[in-house]
A and B are shown apart, each in its own frame.
Chain A
Amino acid sequence: SQKIEQNSEALNIQEGKTATLTCNYTNYSPAYLQWYRQDPGRGPVFLLLIRENEKEKRKERLKVTFDTTLKQSLFHITASQPADSATYLCALERYSSASKIIFGSGTRLSIRP
């Protein structure tokens, strides 16, 4: 079955630096790979999506890359701020189950002032 692996260790970085989070998956390549932000006690919020035929996608300070050979997506936050502190979830979707998404367990990011 498909598995998603995200760093279980929390990532702590200095404000202003670039945070890079990793998402690795096994087995088949997804049609789409999504990134969500989740704050404690809240539901996830959609951030960005990248398609299998795209290498990179940007939105303001966020950048996502997708390498289907490595079966990996990287999520970057540039000029990080304490308000970026949250858990970031990677999720993937296949064409054949277009309404269902598989989520990773997330990486907790802390930005210190």
Chain B
Amino acid sequence: EADIYQTPRYLVIGTGKKITLECSQTMGHDKMYWYQQDPGMELHLIHYSYGVNSTEKGDLSSESTVSRIRTEHFPLTLESARPSHTSQYLCASSEIRTGYNEQFFGPGTRLTVL
């Protein structure tokens, strides 16, 4: 079944640790995105990719980095986590069909940095 997956769903770590949030999609979409969302707040785009070896920073500045070596995989890495990184991270993918950009979201990773 075509879907988009994120692991882990929940992560609690200490300050200074390096972490990687995984995102994979089986829909063959070229475009992938990472959003950050705090409770009750809007989604903020932090990274996006138009395809393999293409990555761009989003509208919200983030200390995280991303890579896109395979179409289906778009991991996000934090080299040194801090409490200010505590948030929900949502991965999405899309394929522009008939000229519009419906986004398919994963279940999210809730990150807590102590």
Decide: A93 and B101 in contact? CB cutoff 8 A: yes
**Which of A60-68, A74-82, A96-104 is found at the contact surface with chain B?**
A96-104
**Which of B64-72, B78-86, B92-100 is found at the contact surface with chain A?**
B92-100
A46 sits at the interface (CB 8 A) = yes
By CB atoms of chain A within 10 A, which of B94, B101, B108 has the most?
B101
Decide: A43 and B107 in contact? CB cutoff 8 A: yes
Other-chain residue from B42, B48, B101 in contact with A106 (beta carbon distance below 8 A): B42
**Within 8 Å CB of A113, what residues of B?**
none
**Within 8 Å CB of B90, what residues of A?**
43-44
Give the residue name and chain of the B residue nearest to A50 (CB).
Answer: B100
By CB atoms of chain B within 10 A, which of A32, A41, A42, A43 has the most?
A43
Binary flags per residue of A38-51, CB closer than 8 Å to B gives 1, else 0? 00011111100101
How many B residues touch the partner, as a band? 20 to 34
A-B pairs under 8 A by CB, number: 59
Give the residue name and chain of the A residue nearest to B102 (CB).
Answer: A46
Decide: A41 and B108 in contact? CB cutoff 8 A: yes
A residues at B contact (CB < 8 Å): 4, 31-32, 34, 36, 41-46, 49, 51, 89, 93, 98-106
Task: Give the docked Cα–Cα distance between A36 and B105 (Å).
Answer: 10
Decide: B43 and A98 in contact? CB cutoff 8 A: no
Decide: A105 and B108 in contact? CB cutoff 8 A: no
Give the residue name and chain of the A residue nearest to B100 (CB).
Answer: A32
Decide: A49 and B50 in contact? CB cutoff 8 A: no
Give the residue name and chain of the B residue nearest to A32 (CB).
Answer: B100
B residues at A contact (CB < 8 Å): 31, 35, 40-43, 45, 48, 50, 58-59, 90-92, 94, 96, 100-108, 110
Other-chain residue from A41, A101, A105 in contact with B101 (beta carbon distance below 8 A): A101
What would 11 A/B residue contacts be, using CB atoms closer than 8 Å? A32-B100, A41-B107, A41-B110, A43-B90, A44-B103, A45-B105, A89-B42, A98-B96, A98-B101, A99-B31, A99-B50
Give the residue name and chain of the B residue nearest to A87 (CB).
Answer: B40
Shortest Cβ distance from B12 into chain A, in angstroms? 15
Decide: B42 and A105 in contact? CB cutoff 8 A: yes
**Within 8 Å CB of A106, what residues of B?**
40, 42
